[in-house]
């Protein structure tokens, strides 16, 4: 199936070469875990994404933990979790150690300004892929758009959005889809 070192190095690579957080990691995680190594199926991947989003903690680490646990139990979860978290820890440690020197370099600031648009694209790409996998189409895309606008524009608590969409989904599935 997979060795502990392969699990660790796969998630270490994912953690080291991904800018923009957990959602930007999604395409790389999917490429390695689903397509390259066939550790889990596409449907399982989508389920893991949904559960990782709803669990407290860092999204990418949640994903790594779920995959590791499925493949090798607790030891596998430990390998993938450490592999995913260690690169960020080491980078932050290095930045903290040399921050005062790095901030004096003008090219560092310019580099971060240049990275911002790429990070937006890295987050947008998996969003559209997940929307397609979750069968979000033009007929129902108003739900996430309206939810985002309510949260952002009217400062509605996301808990109320979750409750409302859950109830709406129940009513739709129970009464409207069976007609």
CB 64 within 8 A of CB 50: no
The number of angstroms, rounded, from the C-alpha of 40 to the middle of its chain's C-alpha atoms is 16
What distance in Å separates the CA atoms of residue 60 and residue 30, rounded to the nearest whole number? 12
CB 141 within 8 A of CB 152: no
One pLDDT digit (tens) per residue for the chain, 179 residues? 569 999 999 999 998 887 777 777 888 899 999 999 999 999 999 999 989 988 888 888 999 999 999 999 999 999 999 999 999 899 888 888 877 677 678 887 788 788 888 888 877 887 788 788 878 887 788 888 888 899 989 999 989 998 998 898 888 888 877 65
pLDDT at 1: 52
pLDDT at 179: 57
pLDDT at 25: 82
pLDDT at 135: 80
CB 126 within 8 A of CB 26: yes
Tokens of 169: 């989904």
pLDDT at 113: 81
CB 82 within 8 A of CB 8: yes
pLDDT at 73: 95
């Amino acid at each position: 199936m997979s060795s502990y070192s392969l699990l660790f190095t796969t998630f270490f690579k994912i953690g080291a070469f991904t800018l923009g957080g957990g959602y930007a990691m999604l395409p790389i995680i999917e490429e390695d875990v689903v397509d390259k190594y066939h550790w889990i199926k596409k449907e399982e991947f989508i389920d893991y994404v949904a559960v990782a989003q709803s669990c407290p903690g860092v999204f990418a680490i949640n994903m790594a933990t779920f995959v590791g646990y499925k493949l090798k139990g607790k030891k596998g979860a430990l390998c993938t979790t450490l592999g995913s978290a260690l690169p960020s820890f080491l980078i932050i440690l290095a930045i903290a150690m040399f921050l005062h020197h790095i901030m004096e370099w003008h090219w560092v600031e310019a580099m971060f300004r240049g990275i911002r648009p790429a990070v937006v694209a890295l987050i947008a790409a998996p969003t559209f892929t997940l929307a397609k996998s979750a069968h979000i189409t033009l007929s129902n895309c108003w739900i996430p758009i309206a939810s985002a606008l309510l949260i952002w524009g009217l400062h509605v608590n996301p808990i109320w959005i979750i409750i409302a969409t859950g109830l709406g989904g129940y009513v739709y599935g129970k009464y409207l889809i069976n007609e």
